[in-house]
């Protein structure tokens, strides 16, 4: 039986204490310092798309460990820069697909970088970025290397996501001071994680975010990705302490607390994939530890009768209007 949708008033008050390891900030500082020892752009070459109104480049950038990560860089044909940029992160089990699959942001006047998910392609969309690092854990991306935070898949994926921001800033035709990050589900969780690791973003847009309040999420959701972690623990009963410790380094609530950029959220109250309570945990604490006297602006859109699909096209329209008012892509 599905859980009944939570009351909105309860969600607006939900602000759990997410336990952070003592070396949480040092862990991420060391991880990103190692990644930035390498030049970010590896290869940039034009990509034909059969769309005369779109210019596209096939980008390879150096992610975690210097591993090559693929991305599509697109913008309106003949657009004059520098343009504000949107870095987009794909959902769980998706790759970057083909360059004509995601047209919203370049058509809206932005330079658009769509990052491939290392090792995840094939469940929903094609991709071509491998994850060459192996470690003990389960068979699904959510459980790869889950016994140690240094080996965990999401340490690598979050690092890739940070490096994608550095990559778009190094590309031609981009206004490096006007970069937003956006994503849905896993992509929304990555956008929140990046918000706390990159301190000069222009905006953050996160919908139905994964990676939030993860210990609680594993208890609430029976379906992938959280259900995969529960399934792993159902078999590896002795691994529970190690799993919770690993997840505590990756929780996007802890990272979003350090965010400084304005943020736009969307959540469906009937979401059983990424339970709304966990997304509200990130929203309610967003920017609380930013070190600024006034927390950053944040805005939430709730869809009471929708699940993981959220507001779909209605929500995208709200995102376009919200981001356009801040970055003015047509200037």
Q: What string of DSSP letters covers 72-91?
A: EEEEETT--SPEEEEEEE--
Q: Is 10 considered catalytic here?
A: no
Overall size of the chain counted in residues: 331
Q: What is the C-alpha separation between 7 and 269, in angstroms, rounded?
A: 9
Point out the catalytic residue in the list 112, 153, 264, 308: 308
Q: What string of DSSP letters covers 289-330?
A: TSS-SSPPPEEEEEETT--TTTTHHHHHHHHHHHHHHHH-TT
Point out the catalytic residue in the list 160, 185, 221, 264: 185
Q: What is the C-alpha separation between 42 and 160, in angstroms, rounded?
A: 14
The SS3 assignment for 7 reads coil
For the stretch 313-317, contacts whose Cβ atoms lie closer than 8 Å and that sit 24 or more positions apart, written own/partner, are 315/207, 315/266, 316/104
Task: Give counts: helices (H), strands (E), the chain.
Answer: 11, 9
Q: Is 206 considered catalytic here?
A: no
- Closest CA relative to residue 114, chosen from 141, 91, 140: 91
Q: What string of DSSP letters covers 88-114?
A: EE--TT-----TTS--HHHHTT-EEEE
Q: Which residues contact 93 (CB under 8 A, 6 or more apart)?
A: 117, 120, 121, 122, 123, 124, 125, 141, 224
Q: Is 308 considered catalytic here?
A: yes
Q: What is the C-alpha separation between 194 and 150, in angstroms, rounded?
A: 18
Instruction: Work out whether the CA dihedral 113, 116, 117, 121 comes out positive or negative.
Output: positive
The H-or-E segment that residue 166 falls in is helix 153-170
Would you give the end-to-end CA distance of the chain in angstroms?
Answer: 51
Point out the catalytic residue in the list 221, 251, 271, 315: 271
Q: Which residues contact 23 (CB under 8 A, 6 or more apart)?
A: none
Active site residues: 185, 271, 308
């Amino acid at each position: 039986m599905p859980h009944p949708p939570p009351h909105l008033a309860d969600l607006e008050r939900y602000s759990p204490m997410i336990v952070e390891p003592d070396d949480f900030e040092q862990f991420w500082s060391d991880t990103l310092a190692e990644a930035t020892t390498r030049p970010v752009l590896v290869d940039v070459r034009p990509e034909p798309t059969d769309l005369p109104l779109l210019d596209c480049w096939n980008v390879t950038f150096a992610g975690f460990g210097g591993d090559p990560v693929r991305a599509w860089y697109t913008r309106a044909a003949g657009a004059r820069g520098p343009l504000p940029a949107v870095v987009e992160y794909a959902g769980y089990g998706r790759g970057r697909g083909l360059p004509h699959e995601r047209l919203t942001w370049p058509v809206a006047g932005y330079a658009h970088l769509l990052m491939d998910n290392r090792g995840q392609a094939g469940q929903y969309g094609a991709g071509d970025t491998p994850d060459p690092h192996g470690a003990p854990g389960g068979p699904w991306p959510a459980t790869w290397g889950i016994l140690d935070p240094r080996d965990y898949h999401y340490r690598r994926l979050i690092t890739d996501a940070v490096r994608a921001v550095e990559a778009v800033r190094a590309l031609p035709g981009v206004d490096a001071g006007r970069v937003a990050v956006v994503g849905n589900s896993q992509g929304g969780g990555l956008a929140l994680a990046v918000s706390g690791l990159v301190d000069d973003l222009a905006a953050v847009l996160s919908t139905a975010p994964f990676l939030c309040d993860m210990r609680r999420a594993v208890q609430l959701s029976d379906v992938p990705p959280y259900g995969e972690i529960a399934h792993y623990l159902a078999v590896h009963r002795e691994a529970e302490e190690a799993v919770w410790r690993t997840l505590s380094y990756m929780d996007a609530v802890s990272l979003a607390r350090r965010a400084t950029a304005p943020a736009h959220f969307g959540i469906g109250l009937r979401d059983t994939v990424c339970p709304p309570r966990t997304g509200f945990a990130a929203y309610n604490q967003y920017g609380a530890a930013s070190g600024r006297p006034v927390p950053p602006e944040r805005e939430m859109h709730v869809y009471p009768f929708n699940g993981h699909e959220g507001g779909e096209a209605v929500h995208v329209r709200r995102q376009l209007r919200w981001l356009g008012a801040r970055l003015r892509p047509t200037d």
